[in-house]
Copies of this chain bind each other. A is one copy, B any other.
């Protein structure tokens, strides 16, 4: 809707002043937060809700508005109480216990290449699934290659070709995080490494694989925050987007 149209409608009484303000500024102010409607046109993706630290009521309010506007919504780090409240308003909403993603709809599949999500152990699954499902929601085909930690290197090497076929590789690993370095040395494509909080003792809640991935002896590996499967998938998607669009 163009600015002139909005103003005409206000004059005609077809649009309230508040509605008009939201349409012009591109976001709506809910008091406790500002819902950004213009993000999809600016960046290609609608705003994603970071659930942690928000009340279920806040999540519901933002969810409903984004759903009305875009028809698709994603909440990360959601819990069951958020889901309960959201589905009262949006019955199609889906909650995945493992990845803690609460979604409705999704972006259509749009990229030619695949994103590989490679994980070290079974306990890394929640983060790996956060990455995989986020990537799918953002329009990527995803190849899941799980439980191939470096302690059994042959198990990993057996997947070498499959990993090399991806356009971007997301590596999810807790413990010492060595999988990042080994895969970084195997592929020609960007590797985004996600340390996880899976471990104990000298693992310090993920600090060890985080530091380990940052000091990787393999070039071409970049790192995101501990357990940030979402962030890795987001970065993978914008790399896919850049590949799709070619040199900007």
Contact = CB atoms under 8 A, between A and B. Distances in A.
A138 B109 CA distance: 33
B123 A167 contact: no
A78 interface: no
Count of identical protomers in the assembly:
8
Between A77, A146, A181, A185, the greatest number of chain B beta carbons within 10 A of the residue's beta carbon is seen for A181
B122 A32 contact: yes
Contacts of A36: 152, 155
B226 A202 contact: yes
A215 B184 contact: no
A76 to B, nearest CB: 10
Nearest to A201: B226
Given A153-B182, A189-B242, A215 B235 contact: no
Contacts of A202: 206-207, 210-211, 214-215, 225-226
B248 A212 contact: no
B217 A176 contact: yes
Contacts of A231: 219-222
B243 A25 contact: no
Contact of A215 (B58, B176, B238): B176
Interface stretch (A6-14, A65-73, A86-94, A191-199): A191-199
Given A58-B122, A226-B202, A230-B219, A243 B247 contact: yes
Of all A-B residue pairs in the complex, the 3 with the closest CB atoms, nearest first, are A53-B123, A201-B226, A113-B247
20 contacts: A32-B146, A33-B121, A33-B122, A34-B155, A50-B121, A53-B121, A54-B122, A58-B122, A150-B181, A151-B182, A176-B212, A178-B178, A188-B238, A195-B201, A201-B227, A201-B228, A202-B225, A203-B225, A222-B231, A223-B223
